[in-house]
Amino acid sequence: MGQHTILVSTQTPLFRFDGEGQGGPAGPDLPNHRLSPGGVCRMVLPTLQNLRNQGWMKQAYWYSLQPGAPAQVDLDGGSIQLRHIDMPSEELQAYGRSKEKLWNDIHGLPSQRFSGDDFRQYTRYNARTADALLEHAGDLDVAYIHDFQLLQVGALLGLAAPCVMRWHVPFNPQLIPAYTRHWMLRVMEDFDAVMVSTRRDLQGFVDAGFHGKVRQVYPHINPDDWPDTSPTKIAALEAEWNLKPDTRVFLLVARMDPMKRQDLAIRAFARIHKEDPNTRLVLVGNGSFSGKLGGHQGKGKSAEWREKLQWIVAELEVTNAVRFAHWIPDGLLAAAYARAEAVLLTSDIEGFGLTPLEAWRYGRVPIVSTGCGAAEIVVHGNNGLLFEAGKEESLAEAMRVILTDRTAAERMGEAGRITLPNFTASRVNPTIRGILDEAIEGYRSH
């Protein structure tokens, strides 16, 4: 097919900048920056790099929402250019309310109040993104758009370019209010194709009567992004976290959000800790990037949730056994994965969840809620353990298996290592490339 120019858009940027943006082109060694946590960026960058290495991609422009960041950051010799879209603070706050309303509707949560002006700013963000993409219309081959924050971009690009949507969150039409669902289906039909993460979500689109093209592609990681660890690094982690060499550690890596059900993990762990005081629970994660976009006053959702979790920890008398690790760099997180007995994914509902793949990278056992998309690739008792979503005792029982049967835990961890190559960029990208090619060919044929 030759070399292509691809435009990517995600709400969350690849990097977070802790200082003021400096403007102009910059390299990845720009000071005061770090990789954004979360699954979208960890999937998109390896996808682009793999497409480039395979000779499919000539140039990528990646647009995301990040006020105050440099206008442009060049990666990989400029073959991937990060561009940052700016919006005034008051518009961001209104956009944030509209986005949160959609998030709650998608997950079956009570709808937050918002106004027509709030939705105007959601539309304005989509229009700014589409306008930025259209600047490249002369040499653009395909646009690759990510998630519900950018639902209107497909229609706005219109006849100028083919456009593919990657849908990362769950899609259960029974959870979504009818009016929101009807609107979402209409705007998603303006994309040349929609990619979903799981068979569950594919079935959801079918059940909802979606008239567009929908394809299922499992999420993936690039194992090379996760550094090897060593006994020295693990010993340093133990010293920092005050762990004895024989302490049994359960790890949960997720943003601080009620959706992630850290409270369920704490309550299940408290049962385990009474049976085995030599156990610890480590919670890694801060708030989401989008939670800070509008410059909200006060503590914010993540801080309020952490306070509630700390209250639960105190009430259950496990304060000395539960560690809130906040955000930690990949090198330290790699040591945490390697040191853990098991990695928990406890959300009642989750589009997918990459932490089971990251656990397999280090030969560790994922314990996954049946409400998470990743449950589709975990074979219970073979490469991980499943527990009934929202059920404290079910989670505690899975944790007991890890503590009482080391042989089974080692066997499941090794099976996970064997499973992981099926969920890497190199394995998944031919399918993604085929979907992009189909969109390009369909556009050119008209």
> Radius of gyration of the chain from Cα atoms?
22
Q: Positive or negative CA dihedral for 326, 331, 335, 338?
A: positive
CB of 46 closer than 8 Å to CB of 220? yes
pLDDT value at residue 216: 97
- Give me the residues paired with residue 253 across strands: 284
C-alpha span between 409 and 364 (Å, rounded): 8
C-alpha span between 408 and 375 (Å, rounded): 19
Q: Which of 217, 71, 76 is nearest to 144 (CA)?
A: 217
For residue 237, count other CB atoms closer than 10 A to its CB.
22
* Beta pairing, strands 342-345 & 365-369: parallel
pLDDT value at residue 289: 53
Q: Which residues contact 430 (CB under 8 A, 6 or more apart)?
A: none
Burial of 337 per CB tally in 10 Å (0-12, 13-18, 19+): buried
Instruction: Classify 237 as helix, strand or coil.
Output: helix
Per-residue pLDDT of the chain (446 residues; tens, 9 = 90+): 469 999 999 999 988 875 443 444 444 455 567 778 778 888 999 999 999 999 999 999 999 998 878 888 898 888 999 999 999 999 999 999 999 999 999 999 988 778 899 999 999 999 999 999 999 988 899 999 999 999 999 999 999 999 999 999 999 999 999 999 999 999 999 999 999 999 999 999 999 999 999 999 999 999 998 999 999 999 999 999 999 999 999 999 999 999 999 999 999 999 999 999 999 999 998 876 555 544 444 457 789 999 999 999 999 999 999 999 988 888 899 999 999 999 999 999 999 999 999 999 999 999 999 999 999 999 999 999 999 999 999 999 999 999 999 999 999 999 999 999 999 999 999 999 999 999 999 999 87
Instruction: Classify 133 as helix, strand or coil.
Output: helix
DSSP per position, 45-102: HHHHHHHHHTT-EEEEEEEEE-TTS-SEEEEGGGTEEEEEE---HHHHHHHHHHHHHH
C-alpha span between 363 and 355 (Å, rounded): 12
- Give me the residues paired with residue 301 across strands: none
Q: pTM here?
A: 0.92
C-alpha span between 84 and 72 (Å, rounded): 7
CB of 381 closer than 8 Å to CB of 412? yes
Q: Which of 48, 13, 67, 30 is nearest to 288 (CA)?
A: 13
Query: 114: which 2 tokens?
Result: 């918002």
